[in-house]
Amino acid sequence: MSRASLRQQLRRLINTSSLRWLLIVPFTVQIASIVGVVGYFSWKNEEETVANLIGQLLNQTENRVNQHLTQYLSVPPQLAQINADAIRLKHLKTVDLKGIGRYFWKQMQLYDVSYISYVSPTGEYAAAGKFLPNQGVTIDYKSRYILDKTYTFATDSDGNPTKVAATYDNYDPLIEDSYQKAIEAGKLVWTQPYNWDETPEYISISATKPIYDEKKQLICVIAVDLLLSKMSDFLRQLNISQSGQVFIIDRDGLLIASSSQEQPFILKQGKAQRVSVFNSQDKLVAGSAKYWQQKLGSLTAINEPKNAEFILNRQKLFTHITPWRDRFGLDWLVVVVVPESDFTEQLVAGRRTTITIIAVALLVAIMTTLMLSRWLTEPILKFNQAAKEIAAGNLARTVKVHHPQELKQLATSFNYMAEELARSFATLERNNAELEDRVKERTASLAAKEAELRAIINAMTELIMVIDNQGRYLKVVANSQLLILEEEFVLGKTIFEVFPPQQAEEFMACIHTVLTQQHPVTIEYSILVQSQETWFSTNISPLPNDQVMIVARNVSDRKAAARALEQTNQELIQAIEQLKTAQADLVQSEKMAVLGQLIAGIAHEINTPLGAIQASISNIKYGFQQSLATLPQILQKLSPEQIADFLSLLDITQSPSPNLSSREERQLKRQLKQELNRLNVANANLLAEYLVRIGLKGDLTPWILLLQHPDSCDIFQTASYLVSIDTNSGNIELAVTRASQIVLALKNYARQDVALELVNASVIEGIETVLTIYHNQLKRGIKVIQNYDQVPDIFCYPEKLTQVWSNLIGNAIQAMNYQGELEIGVFLDGEDRHLVVTITDSGPGIPLELQEKVFQPFFTTKPYGEGTGLGLDIVKKIVLQHQGKISLDSRPGKTTFTVCLPLTVEYTEG
């Protein structure tokens, strides 16, 4: 039997069946199908229950392992960040290696880590850790003055070094993986796991962080080590199943930790080598790792949690693998593997109960369907009978139904419909008569509106045309006075028959554009009317049926006026350009004149730091020669404890200290001499002089071993040579910085104003540039008070504003005759919309009758030959160009110029 024949028989059966059977049969078939499906899934449930239970166990184990990894491995990065903040905030001084060692020792008492270290770029080293047997937490030091020795000190209960526990020759922390990784990454990262040389049974990993200063120069590297063996201890405590295993590996397949008793490393010739998971002695661990390797091709391809089942030695295993990462570079895999045999004996239940419930549900559903079908069909048969009577003309027929609620509402609606149908027939007859009267009234109204529209057309000043997509004129509407050609002559013709070919092609291109884009287009064109060029402005708009409407207006008068205006504008632009050139030359001449007056003082300012550099280099050379000759002999005579004190002395005295006057030096020398005599130290007078040189003052007890040494004078003399090298190096740096500031300020001031557009710049930086240039004049006897608030950068022409500050500050200096007080203020106004700059001098002031003239060109209060009278005129023009304003308030002893600039400026030329 074909599919079409079967479909026809099924349709025929449905069409001939009663509503009762259509309700009973589908419901019964549907319920029976559901019962069958439920029975099938109940049978499958026994197998899936085991899989679901194991899946829950795998996910629970994974969550516990991930939580432990997150907590355990978060300590070293946090501790590295804490130490980095302590160094960056100068709570921990990098020059004090002893202090760093004690600080790390205290952290070892509080945190579960194995080693904390500090390494400077010069090889200095300080650390605390647990790696020597029976020594507890020890402290390591390596000074930059003795780079071939590293000392390990035993400590007391307070973290103070007690004795040298070990000494290491030629240890270089700069080649350690923890240092190299930090420098390479430039941020906090993890190293690869590694075994300690002294104790290979320890596997560690380091969180290492570089620390930079404000100039992006490396200060040091902080590293915190963590033992990974404790992770294996945690995994062994997990109660997975009777024989299940959980292990952690890296992306190369090397074991990190495992719940089995197998160690993640093996010893070969006394050196530890990490074990590959594929070579593990535990069959479940090795088998599950090989399965994932074969399935995915590579362990690096695993980027999300995955579950799987596989067979190993005729045993079904469930395995789960998930990647674990942190934001500092760790990328590990956590694998859980569980045999199915650990659970199958516990999960076979509920089969008989399920079958019984299904059978009872099927029986109840069939009986309910029979009762429901009978209950629903009886009211529907009543509706059928009533509908037949209404169709026969009995509009008064109604239906009474008492149940269910929906059919009861349907009966009410059915009865209401019958009543409305009767009323509608009556209303329809009345409406037919009214419609005929409305048609007559509408016809008369249309005739009146047509007459009104014709009057509007006669009053129009535009020509309106309708053209199709072939360029054919369909309608022309216009005042008869506007028609160039008769309407009868144009209608029915194309654009090509009315206009020249080239102009007709342009018209057609515009029409096609409007029809394609369905968007109006405006064009202008000219034609010859009675041998005279006439211009039209035309708007082309799309209409339905591939037609356009053209509205044309005569704009010949406007065109003539536009040509005259264009010629006038060109003449005005040429005049403005000439004025700009003259103004720019004038501004630059004024700037160069000021710069010429300042050049001698600037040369003196540059020679001063150059002389300081030359003297400091001579001092450094002498100190280096003397320390190079005596330092090796001194170190050979000192014990390890004295060497540590000597290095600490150098680190402390390297810290910057204020310069002392001669009187203060004499007072300090007398105090130190009295303290040395109190301590019964020989050569007190000479030692006091050396201590003053190296800047050591206060309590001398920490250095008593060095002071009472037979060669104490040579020791402290050598220390003074080393300190002088550092001091003079700092003097050179200050001198170079000062000279660079002067040269940069001169360069910024002297260059031409090349900014054609507004840029975001700092007003305070421009003022500081001018103060640097005028430094030689200011230092003669002018006190500068700088009251700068925190203000944002503004959009401006920076070089032009520098000219403003130069003129105002230069005038103030000359007004005070190089003696007085200059106060500069920078702040925002009350509404934070303008930046205000005030420049106040203590000069004699400007007479009231002259204050209105100071901004006029060529007006000056200076003696003849000392000024052009253009400075303040240029200042005012620059401020106005920035859409700002400048004002003057002057009285004897106080003259203030106030410049108010908006935070945002619209671009203006000139």
Is position 188 within any domain?
yes
**Angle 233-234-238 from CA coordinates, rounded to 5°:** 115
Is position 734 within any domain?
yes
Is position 121 within any domain?
yes
Which residues sit opposite 274 in a β-bridge? 265
**Angle 208-211-217 from CA coordinates, rounded to 5°:** 135
pLDDT digit string, tens, across residues 143-179: 877 767 888 999 998 889 989 888 888 888 898 888 9
623 & 760 share domain: no
Identify the residue whose tokens are 């905030």: 89
Q: Are 688 and 679 in contact (CB under 8 A)?
A: no
Identify the residue whose tokens are 């010629």: 567
Element (H, E) at 272: strand 271-274
302 & 189 share domain: yes
Q: How far is CA 39 from the centre of its chain?
A: 57
158 & 255 share domain: yes
Q: Which residue has the higher pLDDT, 3 or 828?
A: 828
> pLDDT value at position 613?
65
Stretch 398-408: mean pLDDT: 69
Q: Are 765 and 822 in contact (CB under 8 A)?
A: no
Is position 888 within any domain?
yes
- Tell me which of 282-296, 303-317, 564-578 is least confident: 564-578
Q: Which residue has the higher pLDDT, 325 or 588?
A: 325
> pLDDT value at position 166?
87
Q: Which residue has the higher pLDDT, 373 or 743?
A: 373
Determine the 3-state secondary structure of 554 from DSSP. strand
598 & 679 share domain: yes
Q: Which residue has the higher pLDDT, 139 or 281?
A: 139
Q: Which residue has the higher pLDDT, 78 or 643?
A: 78
- Tell me which of 428-437, 787-796, 800-809 is least confident: 428-437
Is pLDDT above 50 for 808?
A: yes
* Cis bond before residue 161 (omega within 30° of 0): no
φ/ψ of 743, rounded to 5, equals -65, -45
Pairing of β 521-529 and β 532-543 = antiparallel
Element (H, E) at 885: strand 885-891
Is position 17 within any domain?
no
536 & 594 share domain: no
pLDDT digit string, tens, across residues 501-518: 887 888 888 888 888 888
CATH number at residue 495: 3.30.450.20
Domain span including residue 119 = 59-341
Element (H, E) at 23: helix 19-72
750, 770, 805 - which closes a domain: 750
pLDDT digit string, tens, across residues 582-604: 555 555 555 555 555 555 455 55
Is pLDDT above 70 for 60?
A: yes
Query: How many structural domains compose the chain?
Result: 4
Of the ranges 26-35, 278-287, 424-433, the best mean pLDDT one: 278-287
Rounded to whole angstroms, how far apart are CA atoms 343 and 52?
11
810 & 722 share domain: no
Stretch 41-61: mean pLDDT: 73
Rounded to whole angstroms, how far apart are CA atoms 837 and 298?
67
- Tell me which of 122-136, 182-196, 484-498, 666-680 is least confident: 484-498
Pairing of β 820-828 and β 782-788 = parallel
φ/ψ of 781, rounded to 5, equals 170, 20
Q: Which amino acid is at 328?
A: F
Structure tokens at 410: 């349907």
Q: Are 147 and 121 in contact (CB under 8 A)?
A: no
Stretch 87-103: mean pLDDT: 89
What CA–CA distances, in Å, run from 353 to 344, 346, 349, 356, 359? 20, 17, 9, 5, 10
Stretch 771-799: mean pLDDT: 88
Q: What does DSSP assign to residue 268?
A: E
Stretch 36-62: mean pLDDT: 73
Q: Where are the alpha helices (DSSP H) in 73-152?
A: 75-88, 97-110
Among 490, 644, 579, 626, residue whose Cα is nearest residue 162 = 644
> pLDDT value at position 752?
43
> pLDDT value at position 771?
87
482 & 576 share domain: no
Taking all residues of the chain, what is their mean pLDDT, rounded to a whole number? 78
> pLDDT value at position 673?
77
Q: Which long-range contacts (CB under 8 A, 24 or more apart) does 51-60 make?
A: 51/309, 51/318, 53/343, 53/347, 54/318, 54/338, 54/340, 54/343, 55/307, 55/318, 55/320, 57/240, 57/241, 57/244, 57/338, 58/307, 58/318, 58/319, 58/320, 58/336, 58/338, 59/320
Q: Are 289 and 275 in contact (CB under 8 A)?
A: no
> pLDDT value at position 301?
84
Is pLDDT above 60 for 457?
A: no
Q: Which residue has the higher pLDDT, 474 or 846?
A: 846
The set of residues, in sequence order, having a beta carbon less than 8 Å from that of 153 and lying 6+ positions away, is 101, 138, 139, 140, 141, 161, 162, 163, 164, 165
Q: Which residue has the higher pLDDT, 841 or 538?
A: 841
Q: What is the pTM of this model?
A: 0.39
Q: How far is CA 479 from the centre of its chain?
A: 67
744 & 878 share domain: no
Rounded to whole angstroms, how far apart are CA atoms 19 and 26?
11
| Count of other CB atoms within 10 angstroms of residue 216 | 7
The interaxial angle of helices 871-881 and 556-637, nearest 10 deg, is 100
- Per-residue pLDDT band for 350 (boundaries 50, 70, 90) equals low
**What Rg value do the Cα atoms of the chain yield, rounded?**
50
- Per-residue pLDDT band for 657 (boundaries 50, 70, 90) equals low
Sheet bearing 473-477, strands edge to edge: 473-477, 463-468, 547-554, 532-543, 521-529
580 & 657 share domain: yes
Rounded to whole angstroms, how far apart are CA atoms 324 and 70?
9
CATH number at residue 883: 3.30.565.10
CB burial readout 430-447, b (16+ within 10 A) else e: eeeeeeeeeeeeeeeeee
304, 322, 341 - which closes a domain: 341
pLDDT digit string, tens, across residues 13-30: 666 666 666 666 776 777
Among 721, 737, 482, 699, residue whose Cα is nearest residue 605 = 737
The set of residues, in sequence order, having a beta carbon less than 8 Å from that of 397 and lying 6+ positions away, is 386, 389, 390, 418
CB burial readout 762-793, b (16+ within 10 A) else e: ebbebbbbbbbbbbbbbeeebeeeeeeeebee
> pLDDT value at position 442?
75
- For 407-515, strand residue ranges (E) read 463-468, 473-477
Is pLDDT above 50 for 773?
A: yes
Stretch 71-87: mean pLDDT: 91
Q: Where are the alpha helices (DSSP H) in 474-555?
A: 487-490, 495-498, 501-517
> pLDDT value at position 860?
72
Is position 34 within any domain?
no
718 & 809 share domain: no
Q: Which amino acid is at 78?
A: Q
Q: How far apart are the first and last CA of the chain?
A: 95
Which residues sit opposite 211 in a β-bridge? 220
Q: What percent of the chain has pLDDT over 90?
A: 15
Is position 398 within any domain?
no
Rounded to whole angstroms, how far apart are CA atoms 58 and 337?
8
What CA–CA distances, in Å, run from 796 to 761, 768, 901? 7, 17, 9
| Count of other CB atoms within 10 angstroms of residue 722 | 20
Rounded to whole angstroms, how far apart are CA atoms 414 and 397?
10
Among 820, 789, 805, 837, residue whose Cα is nearest residue 894 = 820
Stretch 574-578: mean pLDDT: 65
Q: Are 321 and 306 in contact (CB under 8 A)?
A: yes
What CA–CA distances, in Å, run from 208 to 212, 283, 803? 13, 36, 51
> pLDDT value at position 2?
67
Is pLDDT above 90 for 837?
A: yes
- For 620-758, strand residue ranges (E) read none
pLDDT digit string, tens, across residues 460-473: 667 788 888 888 88
What CA–CA distances, in Å, run from 431 to 199, 420, 428, 765? 109, 16, 5, 88
Is pLDDT above 80 for 368?
A: no
φ/ψ of 557, rounded to 5, equals -65, -40
Q: Where are the alpha helices (DSSP H) in 751-797?
A: 763-773, 775-778
287, 307, 341 - which closes a domain: 341
Is position 382 within any domain?
no
625 & 715 share domain: yes
540 & 614 share domain: no
Rounded to whole angstroms, how far apart are CA atoms 288 and 525?
84
Determine the 3-state secondary structure of 611 from DSSP. helix
Of the ranges 28-42, 230-244, 363-377, the best mean pLDDT one: 230-244
> pLDDT value at position 746?
57
> pLDDT value at position 83?
92
Rounded to whole angstroms, how far apart are CA atoms 266 and 201?
9
Q: Are 207 and 226 in contact (CB under 8 A)?
A: yes
Rounded to whole angstroms, how far apart are CA atoms 846 and 887?
13
